[in-house]
Structure formats: C-alpha cells, structure tokens
Chains A and B, each alone.
Chain A
Amino acid sequence: ELKVEQNPLFLSMQEGKNYTIYCNYSTTSDRLYWYRQDPGKSLESLFVLLSNGAVKQEGRLMASLDTKARLSTLHITAAVHDLSATYFCAVAYSRSGGGADGLTFGKGTHLIIQP
C-alpha cells in the first residue's frame, strides 16, 4: 500500500522567511504532484514532477523530486501572506490494471504566513 507522508503538518512563519515542506512516499513512482488548497476551495495544481531530479519553479515556490530517496520538497522563498494555504503532495500509483492512476495524497501542510 502506497503511503505518503508530509511534514510538517502545520507551519507558521513570518513574511520574508524561507522554508521547506517535505513529502516522503513509500512505493516507487515517477510522478509526483503538488497542489494548493485555500479554505473552502478546490485543489489548484502547482507542479507536476515526472522524473528523478526534476526541479520546477513558479514565483516564490520551487519543487524538486528525488525518486531514489522517494522524496519531494516544496521550497518557499521570501514568503508572503498570499501564500498562506494548505499544500498537498500526491503520488501517482501505477496499478496493474493500467490507466490513469488514482492519486494518493499526503495529509497536507497547513501554512500560515504572518506579516
């Protein structure tokens, strides 16, 4: 059974600081996703990481994937209040039946950025 662990689950930080969210998963997979969710809203796709060593950046967010270590990181640089949200990582699990894979999500990191 695929397990996805995120840490920390809660993070309160000040504007201007840097921080990293970690996502570990238990089974081989070469597809990892990061999503953002605002309170009462749906999931917004941030990054799709498809291969070992993949690094993607968008604004103050940068995500990376190490498939050998089964680890992905989401790094926040010089945080601003607008980045306050819950961030989820999700791993695609390749079932033997084929087809598009159901995603297994971590529990999410609730991020609060204070002025």
Chain B
Amino acid sequence: KAGVTQTPRYLIKTRGQQVTLSCSPISGHRSVSWYQQTPGQGLQFLFEYFSETQRNKGNFPGRFSGRQFSNSRSEMNVSTLELGDSALYLCASSYRANEQFFGPGTRLTVL
C-alpha cells in the first residue's frame, strides 16, 4: 500500500506571496490532518478534514486554510506569507480516529 505523499517536497517563497501544498492520503483513508513543525514551536496541529469537511482546527490565523476533495486528497494554502511561516509542513492520514500516518513533509522557506 502506498504511503502518504506530499508535493512539493521543497519550496522557496518570498514574503507576501501565497503557497499551496498538496497531500494524497493512504488509499481508503478519509481523514487528513495538517501539522506545522518549527524548531521554536515544535509540532502544532493546523486542521483536520474528513469527507471534504473541516472538523477540527488548531490555533492558527486565518491566513492558513485548507480543503479536501472528493478523492480525499487535501490542499493547504497559506496566504500573505511571513518569515515565521518557514517550517516543515506535515500531512497525516488516518482510517479512523486512531493511528495517524505521516507523509514526508513539505519544507517551506520564506525569504
């Protein structure tokens, strides 16, 4: 079974731009969660989608948004990028509310 895939793997943007990250979950998994990992704040939950609906949201500003498609693939968008948005963005998929399997991540650098 293929694992969680994320694209792109690396991204460099400048302040003020916007970015879209993509995540394809494990086949059959309908829940997709997004996390941000930074050296200072560690791993933080962004949001979770199930059947195209956002069910849970972490404590991030509205610049961070996401969506999920009917095939369970998910995208995350960050608008008006700030230097502090530089991070590793991880996507995780799960079958039910149990084990979450993480993708390889997208490393975003904001200059």
CB pair A48 B58 closer than 8 Å: no
CB pair A98 B55 closer than 8 Å: yes
CB pair A50 B55 closer than 8 Å: no
Mark contacts of B73-107 with chain A using CB atoms, 8 A cut-off: 1 yes-contact digit, 0 otherwise.
Answer: 00000000000000000101010111111111100
Main secondary structure of the interface of B (DSSP, over half): strand
> For chain A, which range describes its interface: under 10, 10 to 19, 20 to 34, or 35 or more residues?
20 to 34
CB neighbours of B104 from chain A (8 A): 41-42
Contact of A108 among B33, B42, B97 (CB under 8 A): B42
Contact of A48 among B35, B98, B102 (CB under 8 A): B98
CB pair B102 A43 closer than 8 Å: yes
CB neighbours of A108 from chain B (8 A): 42-43
CB pair B56 A99 closer than 8 Å: yes
Query: How far is A97 from B97 in the complex, measured between Cα atoms in Å?
Result: 13
Query: How far is A106 from B98 in the complex, measured between Cα atoms in Å?
Result: 18
Contact of A105 among B42, B94, B99 (CB under 8 A): B42
CB pair A102 B50 closer than 8 Å: no
CB pair B99 A100 closer than 8 Å: no
Query: How many residue-residue contacts, CB under 8 A, span A and B?
Result: 68
CB neighbours of A97 from chain B (8 A): 55-56
Query: How far is A108 from B92 in the complex, measured between Cα atoms in Å?
Result: 18
B22 lies within 8 A of chain A by Cβ: no
CB pair B31 A43 closer than 8 Å: no
Query: How far is A36 from B87 in the complex, measured between Cα atoms in Å?
Result: 18
CB pair A99 B48 closer than 8 Å: yes
Assuming the A-B contacts A42-B90, A88-B43, A92-B97, are A102 and B103 also in contact, with contact meaning beta carbons closer than 8 angstroms in the complex? no
CB neighbours of B42 from chain A (8 A): 105-108
Query: Beyond the given A33-B99, A88-B43, could you list 10 further A-B residue pairs with CB under 8 A, ordered by the A residue number?
Result: A42-B90, A48-B98, A50-B98, A90-B43, A99-B56, A99-B97, A100-B97, A101-B48, A102-B33, A108-B42
B residues with a Cβ closer than 8 A to A are 31, 33, 35, 42-48, 50, 55-56, 58, 90, 92, 94, 96-105
A residues with a Cβ closer than 8 A to B are 31, 33, 35, 41-45, 48, 50, 88, 90, 92, 95, 97-108
